[in-house]
Amino acid sequence: MYSKREKYLDPISDYILEWFYRFAASGGIPRSWAGPDLKALPSYTTPSEPLKIEIVSHCYKYANILSYQLSSFVNFPPRNVSVTMTVFFWEGDKRTKEVLDYFGNINIPGLVWNWQALPERYLLRRAIGRNIAAKSTESDWIFFTDCDVLFRNNALDNLSEALQKCRALLVYPRHHMVSDLLLNDDPIFRDYTECGFVRDIDPSRFYPEERTRAVGGFQIARGDAARLAGYCDSIKYYHHPVKRWRKAYEDRTFRWLLGTQGSPLEIPGFFRIRHSEKGRKGKIVGTQNRDEQ
């Protein structure tokens, strides 16, 4: 899916292409110019029994937050849905690997842990891992999320029920619970070496937030659409390696290529930890940097 010999784009080409595709995704260019032929998809596919959902997360230097996400599967295991939990990571991120190694040894019926290592320069562009997962998924639906999203209170069973007869290509929860913007010294960020890998948030600290489109952490696509379109698979620019963490403008491009902002569903149980420090930004491949959250 990726080549170790592939070169970085030169800065000028990178700048031009980023702004070009941002313009295109804003509606400046017809979707048909780059998009897949969605007419090849049936209007409805009969789901598996139980429904199969693949969740695709991405962790770079956020081991503490990832431990909350994976803990939500332990604390609230899925019961009426088959789940594959995929996490893309970099082997050099030792803390993230430690978290993955711990949870990978926990057996939960109906849940498959799927850890996918990428070279650092490919992990820093989130669309690369998402595209790999989209093209290879065997699930009825694929849920592209971020490692700060938690699946509590039967969220996945609620999602499975909502998707049983859904005909949309892309959906998202209209409401989810969010925290305030938390600083690094907040108790929620106590290190897992102090309080244990498996833990949970205090839900009273979270409040409801409404979404109007399928944003990057809540993009739930039909499996056949994902296999056809990948994650911006037709746009090579989004699959080049990069030297720094790149802001995920391709999330909007993904919606543009599918021709939809997503259909909202009422699905309770999703929580998101908002964190103020974005330590991954500015990281240059091959340089030293402290372990962030």
Task: Report yes or no on 228 lying in a domain.
Answer: yes
User: What pLDDT, on the 0 to 100 scale, is given for residue 271?
Assistant: 98
**Mean pLDDT, rounded, of the chain:** 90
Tell me the mean pLDDT in the region 9-24. 93
Is residue 108, in this structure, part of any structural domain at all? yes
Q: What is the C-alpha separation between 108 and 77, in angstroms, rounded?
A: 7
Task: Please write the tens of the pLDDT for every residue from 112-157.
Answer: 999 999 999 999 999 999 999 999 999 999 999 999 999 999 999 9
The range of the structural domain enclosing residue 120 comes to: 11-272
- Considering the domain boundaries, does residue 124 fall inside one? yes
Cβ contacts of 275 within 8 Å, gap of 6 or more: 65, 148, 181, 182, 184, 189, 293
Is residue 104 domain-resident? yes
Please indicate, yes or no, if residue 283 is contained in any of the structural domains.
no
Answer whether residue 292 is part of any domain.
Answer: no
pLDDT of residue 3 exceeding 50, the answer is: yes
Counting the structural domains of the chain, the total is: 1
Contact 211, 174 (CB under 8 A): yes
For the entire predicted model, the pTM comes to 0.91
The reply to whether 285 falls in a domain is no
What CATH number is given to the structural domain containing 161?
3.90.550.10
Residue 1 forms part of a structural domain: no
| Res 217 pLDDT > 50 | yes
